[in-house]
Structure 1
Amino acid sequence: MSETKTVEALVSLGDRYLGRVPAFEADRPWWSEIEATTASLDRLLGVQSLVLRLVHADEAETRRGGRVVYHVQVAAEPRPGVLHPAPRPEWAEIVKPHPLRATWAEVDGPRRLIEWAQGILGPVRPAQVKTWNLSCLVRLDDAWAKATSSFCSVDAEVIRQVHRYDETLAPGVLGVDPANRWSLLEHAPGVDCWEPDDETLRDVIGRWVTVQATLDPAELRTPRMLPQEVAGELTGLLDGDAGSQLSPDDLAQARRLVDVLPGLVATLESAGLPNTLVHGDFHTGNWRSDGTTRRIVDWADSHLGHPATDLHRLCGYLPPQQQELARSTWVAAWRSHWPAGDPARALPPIAVLSRLLGAITYQRFLDNIEPDERVYHEGDPAHEIAGAVGTATELGLL
């Protein structure tokens, strides 16, 4: 798999087209990760550059590698002689407003986010790190400015709820603009915990369960992703594009799965656990540790749902031995906070339901992003449904 991507940048000052940057290699293959791209462009053009959005991807490897084309906005006239100024016939279409365009993908969008953050922090230098249809992320010295889509949660709002029960489980909040869905957060020190030690697993899982078991769900202002609503939404997916992308056998099995879902949900409910705040992307790459403090980051996928979905997501990133540790830690933590429940009963049904919830989530993305950026998620709902069919078959449900 390629560890680089080939970048072409269509450069504008405001919405006025200036020219195209000759193709170059960027050392971060993921299309959404653009810090190396903007750094290269800043050096070449001699002015600050900001990526507004992905205009085209060759789809050599979904979400990474291959050739990508970005719309890039510069802060001032660039160094002369570095751009190919030939007109682009499609330029008017590229800058034409679209009702599903993310606010930070609009002309001056990232600049507005940066100026808001600098109004709180002072004149710190920004570095745009990530941009795609779900979020825009900018580093400003020891702080992070983040904008999220209308169908996602606002990180700072969720973190403030978490801080009511554990003040150090998530980064500090420096500012929030709910109307624009902007968050300004303190830097979480340390490194991403892609290979966590056992103590880190025990600590983060235990503390997170304590928050989930203690908070009042009525306080949440997040989307809903409830297992009880899966059957109806799955039927809609199977009748739409996702169903057409499945093999005939998988489609037939998925329709059988709809009939099995009431029993699965009943088994899940018999575990006796509450619907509560779910992180939504609870893998160890979204944990940060400096050896002393451990924090969870990236709260944009947070929602009201079943807490076992976070455990299922986590186990998918762990080796078998640590998967068992994660499960036993999670079960023990919920038993201590919810003694009337039987959390272990939630694990088999959530293995199927989590994949279906994932399919519904990806379809929400596709329904709410502009056509150029659907390439990030095309095929994901069908992939998750096929995975749910496979798991249900392994469990003897189909």
Structure 2
Amino acid sequence: MPLRVPVAPDPPRPAAAVDNRSRYGGGEVSVAAVSRTVTLVLVDGAGVPLGALPPYEVPEPWWQEVGAIVDEARRRYGVDVAVLRLLAADRPEPPGGHLTYLGQVTTPPAVPLEPVAVDLSPHPSRAPWAQPGGPAHSLAWATGELHRLGRPVTGVAQRRTWNLSAIWRLDGPHGSAWLKQVPAFFRHEAGVLRWLAAAAPGTGPALLAADDTGRILLDHVPGEDRYAADHTERAAIAADHHAVQLRAVGDVTALVTVGVPDLRGPGLAGWIRDRLAPHDTAVVADLLAGLDERLDRVRDCGLPDTLVHGDLHPGNVRGDGQRRAVIDWGDSFVGHPAFDILRLTETLDRAAAAPLLDAWAARWRADVPGSDPERAVDLLRPVAPLRLAAGYAMFLAGIEPSEHPYHAGDVPACLDQAAAEAQRMPLPG
């Protein structure tokens, strides 16, 4: 499919398929007065370098958000571009700064390009969507699937690209859909969405199509991402999610069968150890030393394993005042339900989080008599950031060096948080 496609007007914050990492989702870190300057290095369809556009500023500070990069390239220089990947950054981590990206064009721009020296050699960890021809190949699949569904495409807009996903909005007379392409470790999202559609309709985005390469096509979810959710809305999110988790208890075997990671009990400890092995520090050793005993005591609390979203912050909930849907199930796994309530309350102080945790515990005590949800939460407080550190370590192990700044700071930050929680919640002797 050619890249030159008419682009429809951009609706406000259309993020039905957008996945938000906690530090980079655009809602949990203050970015006042932070700007981003972009240098866009262009290649043709065969990957032959053409040169770079003059640097320009875009309002979105988050590195993976490329909608404004594409829009400004069209507005300033009359060029339609597909952003492929990050090449370089002038600071160690997002947001803001001066970033250099690689972009593909079908027709060289009329504006003179600056000669640049960049390393465009292949890399074994490069995502399919980050290579010349990759976006067009994925868009051809998505438009074909929508045509098969009787939904012709009249406009395409690239919204995001980084090591964790590529996001495109596809518009037409029958509404918008979202193409999301992810790496192998997130491919189980399609299976989770199929399960949600059957077991808990309306609680997640509608899956229109999926293939076995990590591409999924999602129907648009009206509303906006709920980063600003207050206590009442967080309580409603927690109650909705409890019903989903309770329903999933009996289906964990089926969920594991369709590829959802199995992080139950000892499986979680092994998964964390394997991924943190390259980060062998004294802090890691101390945290891992008591992990098995801690997880044994969590199991003694009596709560069942279930489907865990894995990143249930309010920005991964989308609503329009009438309905809510939880998006971005790529981090999901089968494991302990407390991980999600800890994530939902993570940015609140203890006093503000206490009523949400009390209500969560009361629901589980009512559904699982004899269980001790409060004790499980306390035991898992150090494990939750330790699991996140292992996840970020997994990302780093699977991406090329130019994209390391996306996650390099996350592993030590999460390990520090885990160590602090372990000090507050030590295992009794």
TM-score of the pair, normalised by structure 2: 0.83
**Cα distance between partner residues in 2 of 1:269 and 1:288:** 32
2:256 paired with 1:223: no
2:230 paired with 1:194: no
**Cα distance between partner residues in 1 of 2:37 and 2:398:** 27
The runs of 5 or more residues in structure 1 that have no matched partner are 245-250
2:53 paired with 1:21: yes
Match of 1:248 in 2: none
Which range moves more in the overlay, 314-323 or 36-45? 314-323
Q: Does the 8 A contact of 1:4 with 1:27 survive in 2? A: yes
Which range moves more in the overlay, 22-31 or 37-46? 37-46
Identical columns (%): 34
CA deviation string 1:33-86 (max 9, x = no partner): 1111111012233232111000111125x12111111000113232x12422x2
CA deviation string 1:64-115 (max 9, x = no partner): 111111000113232x12422x2x343xx31x22211111101111222222
Match of 1:10 in 2: 41
Local SS of the residue matching 2:199: coil
Local SS of the residue matching 1:151: helix
**Cα distance between partner residues in 2 of 1:338 and 1:100:** 44
Match of 1:282 in 2: 312
Match of 1:172 in 2: 206
CA deviation string 1:305-328 (max 9, x = no partner): 221111111111335554223212
Match of 2:280 in 1: 243
Q: Does the 8 A contact of 2:275 with 2:391 survive in 1? A: no
The runs of 5 or more residues in structure 2 that have no matched partner are 1-30
Q: Does the 8 A contact of 2:41 with 2:51 survive in 1? A: yes
2:242 alignment partner, one of 200, 209, 217: 209
Match of 2:215 in 1: 182
Q: Does the 8 A contact of 1:225 with 1:357 survive in 2? A: no
Cα 1:205/1:239, change in 2 over 3 Å: closer
Match of 1:247 in 2: none
CA deviation string 1:325-377 (max 9, x = no partner): 32123222323333342222211111111111111111111111122112211
Shift of 1:230: 4.9
Cα 1:59/1:5, change in 2 over 3 Å: same
**Cα distance between partner residues in 1 of 2:240 and 2:346:** 20
**Cα distance between partner residues in 1 of 2:397 and 2:403:** 11
Shift of 1:231: 4.5
Local SS of the residue matching 1:70: strand
CA deviation string 1:201-246 (max 9, x = no partner): 2332122122222221111222233452455555566663x335xx
Match of 1:103 in 2: 128
Structure 1 residues 1-398: aligned runs within 5 Å: 2-14=33-45, 15-59=47-91, 62-78=93-109, 80-84=110-114, 86=115, 88-90=116-118, 93-94=119-120, 96-119=121-144, 120=146, 121-141=151-171, 142-177=176-211, 179-215=212-248, 216-220=251-255, 221-232=259-270, 240=278, 242-243=279-280, 251=282, 254-318=284-348, 320-397=350-427
Q: Does the 8 A contact of 1:150 with 1:181 survive in 2? A: yes
Q: Does the 8 A contact of 1:227 with 1:305 survive in 2? A: yes
Whichever residue aligns with residue 176 of structure 1, its letter is A
Whichever residue aligns with residue 171 of structure 1, its letter is P
Cα 1:225/1:106, change in 2 over 3 Å: farther
Which range moves more in the overlay, 105-114 or 50-59? 105-114
Cα 1:379/1:99, change in 2 over 3 Å: same
Q: Does the 8 A contact of 1:284 with 1:317 survive in 2? A: no
Whichever residue aligns with residue 392 of structure 2, its letter is Y
Question: How many positions carry a matched residue from both structures?
Answer: 382
TM-score of the pair, normalised by structure 1: 0.89
Q: Does the 8 A contact of 1:33 with 1:129 survive in 2? A: yes
Cα 1:237/1:109, change in 2 over 3 Å: closer
Q: Does the 8 A contact of 2:59 with 2:68 survive in 1? A: yes
